[in-house]
Amino acid sequence: MFLLLFMLLSPHRDSENVNLASFERVWQIIQEKHWDLAATGVDWNQIHTEYLPRAQKAKSHGEMREIIEEMIGRLGQTHFGLLGGQSFSSIDNLKYEAKAGASELGWEVRRVGDGIFVTRIDPQGEAYEKGVRLGSQILQIGPVKAEQILTAVDAAYANSHQRGLYTVRTLNEFVHHSVGSSITYQILLPGQDQPSSIAFDNAKSIQLTSYFPNMPPMHYQFEKKLIEDKWAYVTFNLFLQPLIQDFPNALSSMPENQGLIIDLRGNPGGLGWLANGIAGYLIAERGQKLGTMQAKEGTLNFFIAPRPNRYEKPVAILIDEASASTSEILAQGLKDLKRARIFGTNSAGAALPSFIETLPNGDRFQYAFGNYTSIGGVEIEGKGVAPDETTPHTLTSMSHSHDATLDAAVTWLKTQTIR
């Protein structure tokens, strides 16, 4: 009997133990790693005292997760959070109905006004092949209406100071589907009065590559093209190792270009040093830097090592609310150094360097260990990079199948003279 009781109780007790241990570990990491807790105005010891009784009473993984997230939220800073721990059940349910997954149809979407619009389309992708164009409005995904998605997203991120970033990420999760699934969209194509029913069958998997041993495999994309036979355009979805070759190769493959557009919209960052690496192709003077990271134990400069094969023509950088971290470090630094003009919308404001640690209960805790200030003295965190020219997508630009930000960058490049 006692043995039976023990067997029944043990898992529960173990679960409580690992959950409480996870609470303690999160608190401890922030206590040890935060670069300047005093500046947050939060008494972190008092926070522990306040939350510990609740943590000790938590009966489930989910309950503990909510307590930890609430405690982290008291810091009011990004890059502290539990990954995979948000229980946004309504979003999850809608995703299930929309068969959201990891396939690739070759498009990106954003919220424009009260709708979901296609803001990037890959001419080689399946969506383009089916007739979808830039500016197409997604009205329904399978049984899920766009309004339902937007309502759920608004509710989930209403209190987040990075709701722009999370909204973009979530919306784009809806337009990728489970491998092998079939789904029918209702889409209003630009210039059309009536929606079109477009079916995607047998969704194909995207190529995932493992770049780091402690991170899940990632999908890396790099695209280059020459716009109007003059303007070199490059975009990449992550700052990862292949970029080391892809960026210079793209520049050398378009020698006739008269200016460069680096499209960082939707780019969440990646390897921080690659911001310096890209800047090394654009900055000629030794001794420059993009900014400085300040950690508890020292400072790190995002210094620039000018490359032998420098690019000296005008540079435009495109950003939006989903440009984060390394993207912001690069954009703000080059803006401060007056080496690039920034177009688009305010970036995510999520620049802090961070690590990810697996907690005793299996959740992953992402934590920052430094602050970041650009060379011009701008603290990006929570504020984002302000573009030189604010050029959001509008209902008008969408209806004309135009990319307002890209158009503005090209217009500006045409006014520039080559140095």
Partner 1 sequence: MQYLFPILVGFLFNCSATQTPKPVAPSAQKSGPNVEDILDRAAAARLEGINQEDLKTVAMKGVIQMPQGMTAQFQALAKDGSKYNLSTEVAGMKVELISDGKDVYENNPMIGPRLLQGEELAYNLNEANFKRDINWRQNYTSYQLLGEESINGRSAYKILLTTKEGFEVTNFYDKENYQVLRADMVVKGEMGTIPTIMYFSNYENVNGLVMPKTTTTEVMSHKMVMQVQEVTVNGEIPDESFSIPAEMKQ
Tell me the C-alpha to C-alpha distance, in Å, between residue 43 and each of 16, 64, 74, 214, 223.
Answer: 26, 21, 10, 32, 47
Q: How far is the CB of 117 from partner 1 (least distance, A)?
A: 35
User: With respect to partner 1, which residue has the nearer C-beta, 88 or 211?
Assistant: 211
208 binds partner 1 (CB under 8 A): no
From the list 278, 342, 336, 338, the residue with the least C-alpha distance to 310 is 278
User: In terms of CB distance, is 128 or 211 closer to partner 1?
Assistant: 211
Tokens of 171: 């919306």
> 193 vs 297, which CB is nearer to partner 1?
297
Give the end-to-end CA distance of the chain in Å, rounded to a whole number: 85
Helix ranges restricted to H, 58-100: 61-73, 89-97
CB atoms within 10 A of CB 367: 20
Residues between 227 and 256 that touch partner 1 (CB under 8 A): 241, 244
CB of 270 to partner 1, least distance (A): 10
Distance in angstroms (rounded) separating the CA atoms of residues 130 and 61: 44
Kindly state whether residue 295 participates in binding partner 1, applying the rule CB under 8 A: yes
Q: Total binding residues for partner 1 by CB under 8 A?
A: 36
| Distance in Å, CB of 25 to partner 1, minimum | 15
- Within 301-320, the residues that bind partner 1 by CB under 8 A are 301, 303, 305-308
Alpha-carbon span 406 to 19, nearest angstrom = 48
Q: How far is the CB of 239 from partner 1 (least distance, A)?
A: 9
Interacting span for partner 1 (CB under 8 A) from 76-84, 108-116, 140-148, 270-278: 270-278
x/- mask, partner 1, residues 325-364, rule CB under 8 A, reads ------------------------------xx--------
Q: Is-contact 234 250, C-beta < 8 A? A: yes
Which helix (H) or strand (E) segment holds residue 167: the answer is helix 163-174
Restricting to residues 364-383, name those near partner 1 by CB under 8 A. Answer: 369-370
Closest distance of CB 251 from partner 1, Å? 14
- Name 3's Cβ contacts closer than 8 Å, sequence gap at least 6: none
Can you spell out the DSSP letters for 128-154?
Answer: HHTT--TTPEEEEETTEEHHHHHHHHH
Give the nearer residue to partner 1 in terms of CB position, either 222 or 273.
Answer: 273
Tell me which of 38, 215, 216, 256 binds partner 1, using CB under 8 A: 215
If the CB atoms of residues 240 and 404 are measured against partner 1, the closer one turns out to be: 240
Residues 13-42 that bind partner 1 (CB under 8 A): 32-33
Per CB under 8 A, contacts with partner 1 among 165-204 are none
Pick between residue 209 and residue 411 the one whose CB is nearest to partner 1.
Answer: 209
Binding mask 75-94 vs partner 1 (x if CB under 8 A, - otherwise)?
--------------------
196 close to 187: Cβ distance less than 8 angstroms: yes
Between 214 and 415, CB nearer to partner 1: 214
Phi–psi pair at 130, nearest 5 degrees:
-85, 5
Between 271 and 290, how does the x/- string for binding to partner 1 read (CB under 8 A)? x-xx-xx--x-----xx-x-
Cross-strand partners of 109: 118
Query: Looking up tokens 């008269």, which residue turns up?
Result: 258
Phi, psi of 149 (to 5 degrees): -65, -50
139 binds partner 1 (CB under 8 A): no
Q: The tokens of 387 are what?
A: 């573009």
Q: Are the C-beta atoms of 322 and 350 separated by less than 8 Å?
A: no
Four-CA torsion 24, 25, 29, 32, nearest 10 degrees: 60
Residues making contact with partner 1 (CB under 8 A):
32-33, 211-215, 241, 244, 271, 273-274, 276-277, 280, 286-287, 289, 292-293, 295-301, 303, 305-308, 355-356, 369-370
